[in-house]
Amino acid sequence: MSYEAVLFDLDNTLYPYAPCNEAGKRAALDALRQHGYELDREAFDELYAAGRREAKRETRTTAASHNRHVYFKRGLYRHAGEPDPASALAAGDAYWNGYLSAMSLCDGVEAVLDALDAAGADVAVVTNLTTRVQLRKLVRLGIDDRIDLLVTSEEVGREKPSALPFTAALAELDRRPSEALAVGDNVETDLAGANALGLDSALFVADGDAPADADLSAQQRPDHRLDALADLTEVAA
């Protein structure tokens, strides 16, 4: 079946997340050491996790829940017992610079985008996170000029699985849910959100660790499973 529009998730769908996150953490740890913090990796991980937990708890339905500067701001306060804006800024900046330096497209992305373009399908990225960071990722991956539309949870004020990110993309592209396919790695946000709206869905996990249908609720089950992103050309184009 061909579609008039394909709505891609970004993180761990168009590129592998884990190596980038690890590179970002290493860079942030180096930055904190340069600011005078005597941290080994275990202590750094505890600091980061504490800041992340607090941010997630207080901002869990918004794009701020992914903000690494918030994680470091909160984590450093818990670690040191006092605010340290300069170190939080340095660690957050270092994290994203390290993260982006490790990014690379999944195999098959460019071929899929070529096929969708040849078929006349619209291509959107619908993603949970802040706009500036996601723009940086698209530019770093070299596909910013291949994407017709970027919709972030920051822009619409709600995170997937809310319908708002999906409906905002469909409205901008002037497409109905029945004309579009959502592609993502997260069954709770990408698939459940798309399925609830009546979009067809495809599951692709960049690290290959996809859950079996038997482990998913009916709302989380994909219409298509992709062993490689290149397989999308057989489904969508």
pLDDT bin (cut points 50, 70, 90) of residue 144 is very high
Distances (CA, A) of 27 to 20, 127, 161: 11, 24, 31
The predicted model gives 127-143 an average pLDDT of 97
Q: What is the mean pLDDT of residues 122-151?
A: 98
Average pLDDT over residues 4-9: 98
* Comparison of pLDDT for 136 and 235, the residue scoring more: 136
117 is catalytic: no
128 has a pLDDT exceeding 90: yes
What six digits make up the tokens of 213?
């249908």
Q: Do 87 and 111 touch, CB atoms closer than 8 A?
A: no
Query: DSSP alpha helices (H): ranges in the chain?
Result: 18-34, 41-59, 68-80, 85-101, 109-119, 131-141, 153-156, 163-173, 192-197, 232-236
Give the integer Cα–Cα distance in Å for 198 and 178: 7
Rounded to the nearest integer, the mean pLDDT of the chain is: 96
| pLDDT 10s digits, 147-162 | 999 999 999 999 999 9
- For the question of residue 209 being annotated catalytic, the response is no
Higher per-residue pLDDT: 214 or 47: 47
Q: Which of 69-78, 163-172, 207-216 has the lowest mean pLDDT?
A: 207-216
Which residues are 11's β-sheet partners? 15
pLDDT above 80: residue 2: yes
pLDDT for the residue 227: 92
pLDDT at 145 over 90: yes
Question: Over 90: is that where the pLDDT of 63 sits?
Answer: yes
* Span 86-103, pLDDT tens digits: 999 999 999 999 999 999
pLDDT band with cut points at 50, 70 and 90 for residue 1:
low
Query: In this predicted structure, what is the pLDDT of residue 60?
Result: 85
The tens digit of pLDDT for each residue in 173-214 reads: 999 999 999 999 999 999 999 999 999 999 999 988 888 888
**What are the residues facing 202 on neighbouring strands?**
183, 224
